Amino acid sequence: MHYNLRVPSGSADVLARALSGARARAVLFARVQLGAPWRLTIPAAEHAGFHIVERGQCWLEPLDGAQGLQLAERDLVLVTNGAGHTLVDDPTSTAAPQNIRALAALPTGELVGGGSGSTTSLVCGGYVLEAAPHQLQRMLPPWVHVRHLEAPRDIRATLELLLAELARPGSGSPTIIARLTDVLLVQALRNWLATAPARQRAPLLALDDGPAGRALATLHMGTGSWSVNMLAQSVGLSAAALRRRISALTGEPTRAHVIRERMELAAHLLRETSAPIAEVGARVGYRSEYAFNRAFRRLHGISPGRYRAQQAQAPAHGLLTTNSQLPSA
């Protein structure tokens, strides 16, 4: 059946703006084979996650007790906020929970667990967002479930290409897989934006709300050390009016939001460039390296120098993880 995607007016531009401010830096993978009965716990993490049911079926149960999701074969679910959750073969399963970290420590080429019953095959992964992850995550529901039987043709095609490449890797596979998962993320969010109830879409669509939306888009592009006054002048509003409208859209004080965006840009520069820390601070609006260090530590919990050292040990973009390289929570 041919699927005609009807995107609400302006929503395509809104999604492009939101994703340009929260670029997916890395794709982290685990392929899991689980025999019934089984129960797999995925701890909370800072990165957005996803699961694909390659074969079989299962349930996703949030750790906070919220209603679970039934996942059928070839279904995709995005865990937009990295919330902890459990995957289980059946809600009535009495299987003891296995932590995905413990499975990853086993000396096997693939993560294998559970019992001796029917097998469910999963592809689990995550997107590490380079900038503004908290702002984007606040605009999305915790779970975006794409049911295969209801999915547009383009999502189904991308999913099959991804699974085929994972099953038969060859030269250039890490790059191909990284690109396909990038596309799958955008397609899934676009489908959600086209089909979700209006009340769920409202926070993201607010990015298209005139001058304040343009100011937020400029800020989230991460192109400079914008102040509230500079942003207000660029979109033709008074600083007071812009503060009120940004606070209403983001749910936090405008100054706090601007500082958060500066620190996210600083984190990106520390990861991706070799610029001295004082230069990074200057590029995000701090004349004093001491003031920059304080602001960065207040948001990220560690100094810029230590953050850079930790990030240097992280998996590279597009690298397929092994069973011992799963991202830590």
pLDDT band at 16 (very low <50, low <70, confident <90, very high): low
The arrangement of secondary structure in 209-312, i.e. its CATH architecture, is Orthogonal Bundle (1.10)
pLDDT of residue 320: 33
pLDDT of residue 28: 64
Identify whether 253 is preceded by a cis peptide bond (ω within 30 of 0): no
Closest of 323, 326, 327 to residue 108, by C-alpha: 323
Domain with CATH 2.60.120.280 in the chain: 11-202
Mean pLDDT of the chain: 79
Residues 152 and 3: their CA atoms lie apart, in Å, by 6
Q: Is the pLDDT of residue 139 over 80?
A: no
pLDDT of residue 315: 43
Q: 11-202: what fold?
A: Jelly Rolls (2.60.120)
Q: Point out the least confidently predicted range of 51-60, 204-213, 245-254, 276-285.
A: 204-213
pLDDT of residue 71: 98
pLDDT in tens, 71-116: 999 999 999 878 889 999 999 998 998 888 777 666 555 688 889 9
Q: The whole model's pTM is what?
A: 0.65
| % of the chain residues with pLDDT over 70 | 74
Domain with CATH 1.10.10.60 in the chain: 209-312
Q: Is the pLDDT of residue 193 over 90?
A: no
Residues 44 and 305: their CA atoms lie apart, in Å, by 26
Which amino acid, 256? Answer: A
Average pLDDT over residues 270-275: 86
Which amino acid, 42? Answer: I
Residues 234 and 220: their CA atoms lie apart, in Å, by 14
Closest of 161, 148, 87, 152 to residue 121, by C-alpha: 87
pLDDT of residue 210: 76
Contacts of 41 (CB under 8 A, 6+ apart): 63, 84, 85, 86, 97, 98, 99, 100
Q: Taking the CB of residue 87, how many other CB atoms lie within 10 A of it?
A: 25
At 47 the three-state DSSP class reads: coil
